[in-house]
Amino acid sequence: MSQALNDAVHWADLTADRLIRQEDKETYTLASGITPSGVVHFGNFREVMTTELVARGLKKRGKKVRFIFSWDDYDTFRKVPANLPKQDELSQFLFQPIVDTPDPFGEHESYAAHHEKSFEAQLKKMGIDLEPIYQSKKYKTGAYKEQIKLTLAKKDVIAGILNKWRSTPLSDDWMPVSVYCEKCNRDKTTATSYDGHNKLNYTCDSEDCKHTGSVDLDTTSRVKLPWRMDWPMRWSVEKVDFEPGGKDHSSQGGSFTTAKDIVSEVYGWKAPMYLQYDFVSIKGMGGKMSSSKGNLVTVNDVLDVYEPEMVRWIFASYKTNIDFGLSFDLDVIKNYEDFDRMERMAYGIEPGNDKKVAMAKRVYELSQIGDHPSEMPFQPAFRHLCNVLQINDLDIKRARSFYTNEIKNERDERRFQERALRAAYWIENSAPEEFKFSLNKEPVKIEMNHKESTFLYELHNFLKSEWNHITDDKMLHERMYEMIHAQELEPMPVFTLLYKKLIGLEKGPKLAGFIRTIGMERVLKLLVP
C-alpha cells in the first residue's frame, strides 16, 4: 500500500495548487454529493474522501474551504433495496421523492433522513466536517424557482447539447423538468406545455391516477430538474470550484461532459475542476458480516476492523484514478504493518530515501484526525496484539496489562484501546480459522515417548529457574533447539506436542515469543511434565 504513490508531491496538494493557479482567492467551495437511495456504502465514501483530501491541501496553503455536501433527497425513490425491512410498504412509495418515503426502521422522519443521519455520524468518526445541503429543502422552499424557469426557457439550447451524445434525438416536445404529480406524488408525469412565465402544465401517466394539472412555478414545490440539468444548475448556485465524480458520471458524453456545456451556456457559470475517482472493492468479507448485509459494506463496517486514521491513510495512499480493494482477511495484518512503517518513517524512526520519507510525512498528515501528535504514538504490533488478546480470552483489560510500560500518554491509550477493540473484532468476525486459538485452561495429558518426556521435563525446569534471565525470543528459541537435539528428537513433532499442550492445536504463533507472551505462571502450569 505504501508503494502506491511515487510522486514527490501528493495529488491532493497538486490539485490544490492547480485550483490556486486557476484563480487565487481566499475561500474555495468544494462539493460532493450522494443520493440517499439506500444504505450509503464504503464505495460512496470515496466521493467524500477525495474532496476532504483536496480541502486539506488547500488549507495547508492557507486557504479557507467551504465543503458542501449535497444530499440528493428530492430524487425519485426508484428501487426498494433488498436488504431493508418492510419491502411491501416501501414499494408503495416507488416514484415518489425519497424524502417523502417513510423510514422502514421507524427511527427518523423519512427514509432519506435515516440514511443521511447514519452516514453523517460515520463521517464524524472519520474526522470529516462538512456542510450538508438537503436538496429536498431547497426545492420545497423554492430556492431554485428562477433557475427552473431559466431551464425551461433555454430548453432548446439544452436539447442541442444533450443531442450531441444521443443516438435518437430528444423530441420537440421534450421538457427539461420533472414534475411530482399533485395527486399521487409520483414523477411518472409528462410536462406538456410551458407558457414562458410561470405556468407549467402536465399529465400524470400512472395508470391509477391519470391526473391532469397545472402548477405555478413561483409557488410550487413539485417541479424538479433531472440530474443532467440539476448538477450544473447547483454548480452555478453554490459557485463550486471543485467536485469529484465516479466513473459512471465521467464517460464521454456522460453527465459531466454535458453539464460542463450546460453550466456555461444556460446558467452563466463555469464547470468546477473535476477529478474522477475509481471504485473501491472489499476483499475477504467472511462470517457474520456478509450474511447479514449482502455485499454492502459501510464506513462503520470498515471502522470495526481499521482505525479511523488508517482508513484515511488508505485513501490518501492511492491516486484517485486507481481502484483498490480493502481487505478483511489476513491482509489486515499486512495493512497494519504497512501503516506502522509509514508512521515510523513520518517520525524519522525508520529510514527511507528522501522522496519516500517526504511522502510518508504528507500522507501521515492527511490521515490525522485532530492534532498531529508531537511524539509518535505507541504501536502495538497487530499480529502480536492478536496473540496477546487470544491468550487473554479477548479480554482487552487483561491484555492491556501486557503493555502497561509502553502506554505513556492519552494518545497511546487511544491507540491501544482502538487497536485492541479492532483486533478482537477481527479475530471474532473475519480472521481465518487457522489464525484463531484459545489457551488451554488446564494441563492436557498427551502420549509421549521417553525422550519427549525427558525433553519436557528439562524445558519445564529451565523455564522455571531461568525465566527472568531470558532476555529475548532468540535466546529461548536457541535453548529449546539445544534441548531437542540433546534428546536426538526432530523439532517439528516436539513443537506440535508443545502447541497441543498450550492451545490444543498442532500449530500456532512462533513458539519462543508465544511462550514468553503467555507468561511464566500459565506456561509452567500447562507444560507440567
**Which residues in this chain contact Zn ion in the complex, by CB under 5 A?**
181, 183-184, 204, 206, 209, 211
- Phi/psi region, residue 187 (left: phi>0; alpha: psi -120 to 50; beta: rest), is alpha
Q: In what order do the strands lie in the sheet with 273-277?
A: 131-134, 64-71, 27-34, 242-246, 273-277
Indicate the residue among 209 and 358 with the shorter CB distance to Zn ion.
Answer: 209
Place of cell 404529480: 181
3-state helix vs strand vs coil in the chain, percent to 5: 50, 10, 40
Residue 243: helix, strand or coil by DSSP?
strand
Give me the long-range contacts of 251-258 (CB less than 8 A, separation at least 24).
252/165, 253/164, 253/165, 255/227, 255/228, 255/231, 257/165, 258/161, 258/162, 258/164, 258/165, 258/228
Q: How far apart are CA 228 and CA 259, in angstroms?
A: 6
- Counted residue by residue, the chain has a size of 529
Given a contact cutoff of 8 angstroms between Cβ atoms, the answer to whether 202 and 192 are in contact is yes
- Rounded to a whole number of angstroms, the minimum distance from the CB of residue 214 to Zn ion is 14
- Rounded to a whole number of angstroms, the minimum distance from the CB of residue 26 to Zn ion is 48
- Rounded to a whole number of angstroms, the minimum distance from the CB of residue 189 to Zn ion is 7
Indicate the residue among 206 and 454 with the shorter CB distance to Zn ion.
Answer: 206
Indicate the residue among 212 and 251 with the shorter CB distance to Zn ion.
Answer: 212
Given a contact cutoff of 8 angstroms between Cβ atoms, the answer to whether 501 and 437 are in contact is no
Indicate the residue among 226 and 529 with the shorter CB distance to Zn ion.
Answer: 226
Q: How far apart are CA 107 and CA 114, in angstroms?
A: 7
- Rounded to a whole number of angstroms, the minimum distance from the CB of residue 3 to Zn ion is 57
- Rounded to a whole number of angstroms, the minimum distance from the CB of residue 436 to Zn ion is 57
Q: Which residue in 124, 104, 126 sits closest to 115, CA to CA?
A: 104
Place of cell 448556485: 237
Q: How far apart are CA 29 and CA 46, in angstroms?
A: 18
Indicate the residue among 181 and 310 with the shorter CB distance to Zn ion.
Answer: 181
- Rounded to a whole number of angstroms, the minimum distance from the CB of residue 178 to Zn ion is 13
- Rounded to a whole number of angstroms, the minimum distance from the CB of residue 210 to Zn ion is 7
- Rounded to a whole number of angstroms, the minimum distance from the CB of residue 152 to Zn ion is 21
Given a contact cutoff of 8 angstroms between Cβ atoms, the answer to whether 329 and 344 are in contact is no
- Rounded to a whole number of angstroms, the minimum distance from the CB of residue 342 to Zn ion is 57
Q: Burial, 219: exposed, middle or buried (Cβ in 10 Å; 0-12, 13-18, 19+)?
A: exposed
- CA 73 from chain center: how many Å? 21
Q: How far apart are CA 76 and CA 514, in angstroms?
A: 57
Phi, psi of 281, rounded to the nearest 5 degrees: -115, 170
Name the β-bridge partners of 244.
275
Indicate the residue among 94 and 470 with the shorter CB distance to Zn ion.
Answer: 94
Indicate the residue among 150 and 184 with the shorter CB distance to Zn ion.
Answer: 184
- Rounded to a whole number of angstroms, the minimum distance from the CB of residue 194 to Zn ion is 19
Indicate the residue among 185 and 276 with the shorter CB distance to Zn ion.
Answer: 185
Indicate the residue among 207 and 521 with the shorter CB distance to Zn ion.
Answer: 207
HSE at residue 9, side-chain half, CA atoms within 13 A, is 10
Indicate the residue among 211 and 361 with the shorter CB distance to Zn ion.
Answer: 211
Indicate the residue among 185 and 281 with the shorter CB distance to Zn ion.
Answer: 185
HSE at residue 503, side-chain half, CA atoms within 13 A, is 24
Q: Burial, 211: exposed, middle or buried (Cβ in 10 Å; 0-12, 13-18, 19+)?
A: middle
Indicate the residue among 211 and 356 with the shorter CB distance to Zn ion.
Answer: 211
241 DSSP assignment: S
- Rounded to a whole number of angstroms, the minimum distance from the CB of residue 96 to Zn ion is 10
- Rounded to a whole number of angstroms, the minimum distance from the CB of residue 76 to Zn ion is 13
